[in-house]
Structure 1
Amino acid sequence: MTIKLLITGGTIDKVYKELTGQLVFKQTHLVDMLNQSRSMVDTLSEVLFLKDSLDMSDANRALILQKCQASETNRILITHGTDTMVKTAKLLGKEINNKTIVLFGAMMPYSIKSSDALFNLGMALSAVQTKKCGVYIAMNGQVFDFDKVEKNKGQGIFISS
């Protein structure tokens, strides 16, 4: 079983830029993350773009949808920023019902020691292999149905809605 990994950016792939104190994109860390995790799962990665989810447009979401629909594999992981992850999941959930799609990201960049990125990747890898067809979000040690989740911005976690 091959899992398609669509990379769209989000905090998970940001790095700290020392000169400005900002978090920015340089390149994806997902291949490094899979290697560090010693994952033996067959994955095929594709970088669609590296954006903060607050900067995602409807055209960006349409591209994600098109890539999911066109994928020959029926198991898809998507890296995504947490601020609009639910919005993208709802779009995919309304349009696709014959594949297992799991969106995940991180509250802290992978490049920062205390990041939740590896943990969320592990949850997402597990979920995409074991869940039935549908769209899910894997965050904070939980897997949520796309239409029963929200981000609690005050606590910085995802919760059932």
Structure 2
Amino acid sequence: MSDEVLVIQTGGTIDKDYPRATGGYAFEICDSAAKKILTRLPLSGNFQFKTICKKDSQEMTLDDRKQLVKVIEASPIQKILVTHGTDTLIDSASFVADNNKGKLIVFTGAKKPEIFKDSDAEFNIGVAVGALRCIEGTGVYVAMNGRVSPWDKVIRDIETGYFIAMT
């Protein structure tokens, strides 16, 4: 069993940082938060990193999702971690699931940017990596809020923003 994981950045709150421009108010999507987290922790295994785009998930397009599938398919790595904005994370997971050719793929994100002291980013990345190491077989999953669920068995509660497993 290989501990090799391809980590794909698409953007979203998890990767947001303060603006570089003086006087700016809007956050910018910057370097991969997952890469920052995974390279500073003493983890075994081999992590490869790839950026597809750096977008707010509400700006994700069909072409972005097609590019994501293309990168997943082209990689020889069987375990994939996708960081994504939470607003359309399930939409992208659905698209990837419809095009998955036998890989284990886990989507995650964060409610607050990784740079915030009280961000859930590091926890969510850890849960996603743990899921990739524990789930046997293939499929597309969502790892959010301390829970891992198949993409089609989770919904996002609009009021709280939490991802909830469907019963």
Return the TM-score normalized by structure 1: 0.94
For these two proteins, the number of residue pairs brought into alignment is 161
1:137 aligns with 2:142: yes
1:80 aligns with 2:84: yes
**2:8 is aligned with what amino acid?**
L
Q: Which residue in the other structure is 2:15 paired with?
A: 13
Deviation of 1:74 (Å) = 0.9
Check conservation: 2:73, 2:101, Cα contact below 8 A: no
Deviation of 1:92 (Å) = 1.3
Deviation of 1:97 (Å) = 4.6
2-structure distance, mates of 1:76, 1:155? 27
Check conservation: 1:89, 1:135, Cα contact below 8 A: yes
Check conservation: 1:37, 1:118, Cα contact below 8 A: no
1:66-145 correspondence runs (5 A): 66-131=70-135, 132-145=137-150
Return the TM-score normalized by structure 2: 0.91
Query: SS in structure 2 opposite 1:12?
Result: helix
Deviation of 1:27 (Å) = 2.2
Q: 1:155 aligns with which of 150, 155, 160?
A: 160
RMSD: 1.4
Distance 1:153 1:19, change over 3 A: farther
2-structure distance, mates of 1:71, 1:83? 26
Deviation of 1:41 (Å) = 2.4
Higher strand share: 1
1-structure distance, mates of 2:147, 2:41? 19
Unaligned runs of 5+ in 1: none
Check conservation: 2:105, 2:141, Cα contact below 8 A: yes
State the identity as a percent: 34
Query: SS in structure 2 opposite 1:34?
Result: helix
1:50-69 correspondence runs (5 A): 50-69=54-73
Unaligned runs of 5+ in 2: none
Q: Which residue in the other structure is 1:43 paired with?
A: 47
**1:142 is aligned with what amino acid?**
R
